[in-house]
Amino acid sequence: MDVRSVRYDHPDAVKLNDQVQLEYIQRYGDGDGDETPLDASMFQPPCGLYLIAYDDEGHPVATGGWRARSQGAGEDEGYEDGDAELKRMYVVAEARGRGLARIMLAALEADARAAGRTRMVLETGDKQPEAIALYTSSGYDASEQKFGHYREYEGSHCFVKQLT
């Protein structure tokens, strides 16, 4: 597997993002998918990173990114200075069960740590039990403090992991 840093608006990133949006619609029955405002500049080093994993044939099979978050400065409530927020973790259906999500997660955590981020945070939904299992088995703790675009939704679950 080949893991590459790409821009969030790279054609393969757009392709995988479209796929994850369809999965959100299927799981949650929402016609719009995830409406969290994101743009490519949010994932530019050193304030973020976006990764795509390619299989041996060169097909994009997994994706994920982190973006810097902080308290105040017009950002959503609930973040702390030094936070890195995990976004768009996704593995295509035919590549699941191979540990790709763990590889991506470890790479994103290492990069955020190297960039001086002190805590990785994420929000996911109750209809993504595989994601919740990945995060809890990777050292993430449920957070009583809610953050992110969907923090007010009943099915929203927030998790944190100290990086330092």
The residue to which tokens 């619609």 are assigned? 25
Residue 43 to residues 5, 26, 80, 84, 120, Cα–Cα distance (Å) = 10, 27, 18, 10, 14
Answer yes or no: is pLDDT of 94 > 70. Answer: yes
**50 class by beta-carbon count within 10 Å (0-12 exposed, 13-18 middle, 19+ buried):** buried
The residue to which tokens 């099979």 are assigned? 61
pLDDT score recorded for residue 90: 96
Spatial CA neighbour of 84 closest among 51, 132, 49: 49
Q: List pLDDT tens digits, range 32-74.
A: 777 778 899 999 999 999 999 999 999 999 999 999 988 765 5
Contact 86, 66 (CB under 8 A): yes
Helix (H, G, I), strand (E, B) or coil at 6: coil
pLDDT class of 76 with cuts at 50, 70, 90 = low
pLDDT score recorded for residue 150: 73
pTM, to two decimals: 0.93
Answer yes or no: is pLDDT of 163 > 80. Answer: yes
Domains present along the chain, CATH in parentheses? 2-162 (3.40.630.30)
Contact 121, 68 (CB under 8 A): no
What mean pLDDT comes out for the span 10-22? 95
